[in-house]
Amino acid sequence: MNYKSFDKKVAIVTGAGQGIGFEICRQLAKEGAAVILNDLDADLSESAAKKIRAEDGNCISLAGDSCDLDFIQSMVDLAVRQFGKLDIVIANAGITLFGDFLTYSPEAFNRVLNVNMGGTFFLTQAAAKQMKQQADGGSILFTSSITGRQAHKDLAAYAMTKAALDMLARNLVIELSAYKIKVNTIAPGATITERTTNDPDYETVWSKLTPMGRPGTTTDVANAALFLVSDKAKQITGQCLVIDGGWSCISPSPF
Average pLDDT score over residue span 5-24: 97
DSSP, residue by residue, 32-94: T-EEEEEESSHHHHHHHHHHHHHTT-EEEEEES-TT-HHHHHHHHHHHHHHHS---EEEE---
pTM of the predicted model as reported, rounded to 2 decimal places: 0.95
List the catalytic residue out of 9, 61, 162, 202.
Answer: 162
pLDDT over 90 (residue 3): no
Lowest mean pLDDT among 57-61, 62-66, 146-150, 157-161: 146-150
- Domain boundaries along the sequence of the chain: 10-244
List the catalytic residue out of 9, 145, 182, 202.
Answer: 145
The conformational region for residue 251 under phi > 0 = left, psi -120 to 50 = alpha, else beta, is left
pLDDT over 80 (residue 140): yes
Per-residue pLDDT reduced to its tens digit, 85-99 = 999 999 999 999 999
Helix (H, G, I), strand (E, B) or coil at 184: strand
List the catalytic residue out of 9, 139, 144, 158.
Answer: 158
How far is the C-alpha of 117 from the C-alpha of 148, rounded, in Å?
Answer: 13
Active site includes 51?
no
Q: Which H helix or E strand runs over 242?
A: strand 240-243
Active site includes 162?
yes
Active site includes 158?
yes
What is the rounded average pLDDT for all residues in the chain?
A: 95
How far is the C-alpha of 103 from the C-alpha of 157, rounded, in Å?
Answer: 12
Q: What superfamily in CATH does domain 10-244 come from?
A: NAD(P)-binding Rossmann-like Domain (3.40.50.720)
